[in-house]
């Protein structure tokens, strides 16, 4: 059965085109993907991300329990901070990529991908030694407010001093009279907040943000813009760029893997892989011939298949330059390396470039 977020009716009232996404009925775009993308880069956009899951660990030992499950290190951050992390399998591949919020050493909340919620919860229950996880997904709706004008917009609706909340930090407070977690996070490459609230408050919060944001040129944005924005940043999408068969080191996410931590699932495999050398890498590339690379297209070198495109688009913020992300052998991973992308039988030349593709002006 298709699931609906508390904002489903609001999306329909705004004329959104709805699609099935990971079993959820979600807006893909309202008017124009490119216009929504531009709104986030230059003003502010709102995303309904209520389909994301939230899993909580609370009680004595919560921090230690979670730290043995995730690749990043909760002991290196303070209360009120969050970290991006991997849940890894024994081979160092991804069960999921998550954001872990440290409220206190006795309360950790983990935001997981909608498509992986059930899998993650079962995996956490099976592997948690200490505190037992609780699936709190039904208790939260979530609205992402992203763009250079996001902080100003949210600030006008809250008494919480947002200048005190740095990147990857959060606070609890009220926005437009609604109790919320205000998290300075997002997946667009822009400044902004992800606001977690009770499902029953989501419509009031959404409408308040839309009304107050008129002066900023706010736009409701769909999954289409979310995908093009994150691709321009080379942010990995689970199921596209990262999965259980590619390790965190291959995905270029070594920075969220703390190999000096005492223990976490997948550590031994990654230590061994690091010592042996990583054989394939996730790179960003631009096409130098006509076409657009897409998920699943083969990467060829000298006519032979050597890799695969995991994401690609015509980048709206880069004059629609065709950009892609994909796995290639390590010897083709350096900036300036060239290969071909097989676009429906046509070999289109591509060159590895520095990422993120998009840099703030």
Partner 1 sequence: MSNIPGDLKYTKEHEWARVEGGTVTVGITDHAQTTLGDVVYVELPKVGDTVTKDAPFGTVESVKAVSELFAPISGKVLEVNGELEASPEDVNSDPYGDGWLIKIAPSDASQVNGLLDAAAYAKLLENA
Q: Which stretch binds partner 1 (CB under 8 A): 26-34, 89-97, 175-183, 206-214?
A: 26-34
Tell me which of 16, 292, 309, 328 binds partner 1, using CB under 8 A.
292
Interface with partner 1, residue 148, by CB under 8 A: no
Minimum Å gap between C-beta 1 and partner 1 is: 22
Secondary structure of 169-182 as H, E, C letters: EEEEEEECCEEEEE
Helix, strand, coil percentages (3-state) for the chain, rounded to 5, are 25, 35, 35
Cβ–Cβ < 8 Å for 143, 201: no
Using the minimum distance from each CB to partner 1, give the nearer residue, 141 or 325: 325
Alpha helices in 233-291 (DSSP H): 267-276
Tell me which of 159, 164, 304, 344 binds partner 1, using CB under 8 A.
344
Angle at 352 between CA 351 and CA 357, to 5 degrees: 110
Using the minimum distance from each CB to partner 1, give the nearer residue, 86 or 293: 293
Using the minimum distance from each CB to partner 1, give the nearer residue, 80 or 291: 291
Interface with partner 1, residue 322, by CB under 8 A: yes
Burial classification of residue 91, based on how many CB atoms lie within 10 Å of its CB (0-12 exposed, 13-18 middle, 19 or more buried): middle
DSSP string, 301-329: ETTEEEEEEEEEEEEGGGTTEEEEEEEEE
Using the minimum distance from each CB to partner 1, give the nearer residue, 201 or 227: 227
Tell me which of 5, 158, 313, 317 binds partner 1, using CB under 8 A.
313
Tell me which of 7, 18, 26, 33 binds partner 1, using CB under 8 A.
33
Burial classification of residue 268, based on how many CB atoms lie within 10 Å of its CB (0-12 exposed, 13-18 middle, 19 or more buried): middle
Interface with partner 1, residue 307, by CB under 8 A: no
What track of x and - describes contact with partner 1 for positions 195 through 234 (by CB under 8 A)?
A: -----------------------------x--xx------
Minimum Å gap between C-beta 99 and partner 1 is: 25
Contact positions with partner 1 (CB under 8 A) in 34-53: 34, 37
Phi, psi of 206, rounded to the nearest 5 degrees: -60, -50
Minimum Å gap between C-beta 216 and partner 1 is: 23
Minimum Å gap between C-beta 343 and partner 1 is: 8
List the strands of the sheet with 81-88, edge to edge. 81-88, 94-104, 107-112, 53-58, 134-135
Interface with partner 1, residue 28, by CB under 8 A: yes
The SS3 of residue 201 is helix
Tell me which of 3, 119, 274, 294 binds partner 1, using CB under 8 A.
294
Using the minimum distance from each CB to partner 1, give the nearer residue, 20 or 79: 20
Q: Which stretch binds partner 1 (CB under 8 A): 164-172, 259-267, 285-293, 327-335?
A: 285-293
Whole-angstrom Cα distance, residue 36 to residue 53? Answer: 24
Using the minimum distance from each CB to partner 1, give the nearer residue, 119 or 294: 294
Interface with partner 1, residue 318, by CB under 8 A: no
Q: Which parts of the chain are beta strand (E)? A: 17-21, 24-29, 45-48, 53-58, 81-88, 94-104, 107-112, 134-135, 141-146, 170-175, 178-183, 192-197, 219-220, 280-287, 298-301, 304-315, 321-329, 338-343, 346-352
Site residues for partner 1 per CB under 8 A? 17, 28-29, 32-34, 37, 224, 227-228, 290-292, 294, 313-314, 316, 320, 322, 344
């Amino acid at each position: 059965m298709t699931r609906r977020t508390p904002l489903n009716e609001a999306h329909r009232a705004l004329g959104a085109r709805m699609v099935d996404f990971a079993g959820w009925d979600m807006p893909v775009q309202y008017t124009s993907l490119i216009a929504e993308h531009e709104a986030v880069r230059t003003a502010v956009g709102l995303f309904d991300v209520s389909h994301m899951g939230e899993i909580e660990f609370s009680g004595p030992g919560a921090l230690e329990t979670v730290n043995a499950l995730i690749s990043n290190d909760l002991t290196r951050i303070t209360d009120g901070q969050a970290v991006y992390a991997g849940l890894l399998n024994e081979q160092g591949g991804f069960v999921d990529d998550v954001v872990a919020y440290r409220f206190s050493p006795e309360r950790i909340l983990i935001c997981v991908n909608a498509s992986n919620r059930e899998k993650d919860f079962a995996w956490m229950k099976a592997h948690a030694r200490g505190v037992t996880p609780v699936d709190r997904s039904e208790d939260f709706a979530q609205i992402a407010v992203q763009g250079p004008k996001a902080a100003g917009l949210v600030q006008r609706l809250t008494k919480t001093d947002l200048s005190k909340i740095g990147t990857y930090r959060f606070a609890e407070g009220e926005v437009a009279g609604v109790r919320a977690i205000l998290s300075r996070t997002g997946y667009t490459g822009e400044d902004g907040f992800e606001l977690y609230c009770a499902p029953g408050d989501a419509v009031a919060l959404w409408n308040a943000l839309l009304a107050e944001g008129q002066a900023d040129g706010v736009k409701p944005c769909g999954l289409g813009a979310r995908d093009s924005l994150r691709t321009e940043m080379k942010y990995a999408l689970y199921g596209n760029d990262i999965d259980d068969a590619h390790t965190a080191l291959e995905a270029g996410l070594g920075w969220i893997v703390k190999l000096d931590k005492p223990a976490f699932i997948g550590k031994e495999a990654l230590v061994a892989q690091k010592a042996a050398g990583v054989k394939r890498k996730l790179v960003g590339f631009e096409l130098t011939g006509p076409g657009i690379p897409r998920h699943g297209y083969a990467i060829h070198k000298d006519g032979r298949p050597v890799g695969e495109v995991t994401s690609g688009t015509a980048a709206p913020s880069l004059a629609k330059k065709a950009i892609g992300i994909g796995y290639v052998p390590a010897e083709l991973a350096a900036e300036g390396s060239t290969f071909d992308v097989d676009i429906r039988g046509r070999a289109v030349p591509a060159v590895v470039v520095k990422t993120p593709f998009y840099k703030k002006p």
